[in-house]
């Protein structure tokens, strides 16, 4: 049984993340998507909200499990006996950062955790949670970027009530 973990902030989950999750779920027996508590980042959504949005977004993928963790990825992997971490790559700017993290995890885990990179689906290459939050904060259209229920949650966070109208106006 091959299990992989896909760690991230998922604040909130986007179609870019969902695409990576779907593709990973076809490669591994089980994919655990783990919302990591990142003390360096202030999140818009609480840990529970992020976990629940991921559960809803992946409810049709039977071999995908959603979890959360406050600590180092390598410790999580050790606890769960996982040896593969999945990360997504959008551009060369992601690569430098991701390579450093991957090498650190490999070193710290004494070669027990390897990182598998999946390149973005080109149609989602521009997507990031930060961009989506910025668009929503100005009442822009985020429906092409995230599932409808995530869009609704974003507009609610930023105090906009007319999200359905936004959707209609932009179609």
Q: Which residues bind ligand ADP (CB under 6 A)?
A: 8-10, 14, 16-17, 20, 38, 87-88, 90, 94, 120, 124, 127-129
Instruction: Tell me the chain's radius of gyration from C-alpha atoms.
Output: 16
Is residue 130 flagged as an active site residue? Answer: no
49 or 160: whose CB is closer to ligand ADP?
A: 49
Is residue 41 flagged as an active site residue? Answer: yes
43 or 160: whose CB is closer to ligand ADP?
A: 43
Per DSSP, the residues of 59-103 read TT-TTEEEEEESS-HHHHHHHHT--EEEEEE-SHHHHHHHHHHHH
Instruction: Provide the 3-class DSSP secondary structure of residue 28.
Output: coil
CB of 127 to ligand ADP, least distance (A): 4
Is residue 17 flagged as an active site residue? Answer: yes
Structure tokens given for 131: 């961009």
Name the active-site residue from 9, 129, 133, 163: 129
Is residue 50 flagged as an active site residue? Answer: no
Mind telling me the catalytic residues?
17, 41, 90, 129
């Amino acid at each position: 049984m091959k299990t992989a973990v896909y760690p991230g902030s998922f604040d909130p989950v986007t179609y870019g993340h969902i695409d990576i999750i779907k593709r990973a779920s076809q490669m591994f027996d089980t994919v655990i998507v783990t919302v990591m508590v990142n003390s360096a980042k202030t999140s818009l959504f609480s840990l529970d909200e992020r976990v629940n949005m991921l559960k809803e977004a992946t409810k049709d993928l039977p071999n995908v499990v959603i979890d959360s963790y406050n600590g180092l990825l390598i410790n999580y992997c050790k606890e769960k006996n996982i040896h593969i971490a999945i990360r997504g790559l959008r551009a060369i700017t992601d690569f430098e950062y991701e390579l450093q993290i991957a090498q650190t995890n490999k070193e710290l885990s004494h070669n027990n955790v390897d990182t598998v990179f999946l390149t973005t689906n080109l149609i989602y290459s521009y997507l990031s949670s930060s961009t989506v939050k910025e668009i929503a904060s100005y009442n822009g259209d985020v429906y092409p970027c995230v599932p409808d229920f995530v869009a609704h949650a974003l507009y609610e966070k930023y105090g906009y009530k007319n999200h359905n109208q936004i959707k209609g106006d932009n179609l």
